[in-house]
Amino acid sequence: MEVAKYEAVETLRDGRQTRVRALKSDDRAGLLSAVSKSSAQSLYRRFFSPKRSLTEDEVAYFMDVDFVDHVALVAELEEDGRGVIIGGGRYVLVEPGKAEVAFAVVDRYQEQGVGTALMRHLVAIARHVGLEELTAEVLADNISMLKVFEKSGLRVSTTRDSGVIHVALRLS
């Protein structure tokens, strides 16, 4: 599996096909567009602070993916004859065998299985490269993200720390 060229097709709950693929260097505009179409609540749930746009440093960080220590996938739908990024997921190595995972899905595509699909593919990649655990921090009110983890088929353990749930997912 060449992670930097990863690609798969998934069917969303509404029957539409989405392409889950590795983030590419020319996805900057699509990434920024997805952020601009996301609600203040969705961005707060992803970044844990009020945010309406990304700083240049944040954009650089999100786009600087080496597919070894930092792996990023996007979910893309065909709209008006072109691919539109509707969500993304990534993991970043925090120590050998362990990576932190995070997701964002544009509001109008939430509840369609986008996060679940991104999770499934990130888990496949993480297992392929020998990772043992994925971790995440999720706001306690982000029930849909917590459900994605619960339904992942992985052993999930959680701890709570004042409104934030720390999630650990065992890959083996």
Distance CA(112)–CA(115), nearest Å, equals: 8
pLDDT at 90: 96
Task: Give the model's pLDDT for residue 100.
Answer: 96
Q: What is the pLDDT of residues 68-97, one digit of tens each?
A: 999 999 999 998 889 999 999 999 999 999
Residue 139: pLDDT band (50, 70, 90) is confident
* Phi, psi (rounded to 5 degrees) for 86: -115, -5
DSSP bridge pairs for 73: 22, 89
Element (H, E) at 51: none
The pTM of this model reads 0.92
- Cα 73 to the chain's mean position, in Å? 7
Per-residue model confidence as pLDDT tens digits over 158-171: 999 988 999 999 99
d(CA 3, CA 23): 10
Domain-wise residue ranges, the chain: 3-170
91 touches 134 (CB < 8 A): yes
* pLDDT, tens digit (0-9, with 9 covering 90-100), for 43-61: 778 876 777 777 888 888 8
pLDDT score, position 37 = 87
Q: Which residue has the tokens 């996938």?
A: 73
Average predicted confidence (pLDDT) for the chain: 92
| Homologous superfamily of the 3-170 domain (CATH) | Gcn5-related N-acetyltransferase (GNAT) (3.40.630.30)
